Amino acid sequence: MLAVDGPLPDDDHHGYEWKWDGFRGCARIAATGEARITSRSGSDHTHRYPELRDVFGPALGGHAAVLDGEVVALNAAGRPEFELMQRRAMHEPTPKLRAEVPVVYFAFDLLRVGNESLLDRPYEQRRQLLAELVRPEAGGLVVPPWYTRADIAPDQLLATAAEHGIEGVVAKRLDAPYLPGTRSPSWTKHALTRTREVVIGGWRPGAGRREGTFGALLLGAYDGDGALVYLGDVGTGFTDDALDHLRAVLAPLARAGSPFAAEVPRDRARGARWVEPSLVGEVVYRRLTPDLRLRHTSWRGLRPDRVPDEVRIP
């Protein structure tokens, strides 16, 4: 279930959670404790987080369950940090990397217990059952707090998020069922940073210090007819590690022609190398123009938990 963007509703009909900066995934846990983490597209990502395989069974006390949540990497202050998740995404999870960048699963919803589906239960009840089910002493699995307006006002939550470097706040209707695969107004997210998921359709070669790699990525998103629409490019925000990783993953995706439905502006297409639009990334941007161009973009990283078809034009 996905949230819509917008101002946070300020009423007694919503619960409020922090918006965590990680990779979304459902955890499916058998009564034996065996666990599998899948992305929104259904891809199995369990192998990316081997340290989480054994935390669910003890935490659930032998109950089979399906959880919705976020895999996050915590910084020294104990807060999720997307850049750390990128280090995990770009490399094999060796023991050294797992020690340097450990991950934790933040469970914020309970979709099934045993053979009983909880999808039709209201959010408030699912949240209460989740807190009762998960043993708090379990390492690697956290049930983060949620609030009502009686606890704290939404604008105070946003101020706290800004003060402590948290990505934002999500409001969820207390009486709402869980609607898999649906972007529903029952959930509203308010992010403090303007970010957008984008599909990579090509790249331009770099110059100077970036000679031998790329200077910018050409970005797009799909319209309602399934056509890839050009949204602009991004040429900043890349670490040397990210440049090397992107060059490696883009090389086998090369194609002869542009994947964009309409012609890319000549100054942006000059010297471009086109690729199959099979990778999703995320950028920070300052504004979106009326003709659908992202301005003042900066690269955040690849999103292996997303699939291109999900990335729609604004």
Active site residues: 19
Output Rg (C-alpha) for the chain, integer angstroms: 20
Question: Cβ(282)–Cβ(23) under 8 Å?
Answer: no
**CA angle (19, 182, 55) in 5-degree steps:** 50
Separation CA 73–CA 90 (nearest Å): 14
Return the axis-axis angle of helices 240-250 and 82-90, rounded to nearest 10°: 50
Token output for 306: 């997303």
3-state secondary structure of 305: coil
Q: Are 280 and 307 in contact (CB under 8 A)?
A: yes
CA dist list (Å): 290 to 215, 231, 287, 294: 26, 11, 10, 10
Residue type (1 letter), 179: L
Residue 183 β-bridge partners: 2
Q: What is the number of helices (H) and of strands (E) in the chain?
A: 7, 20
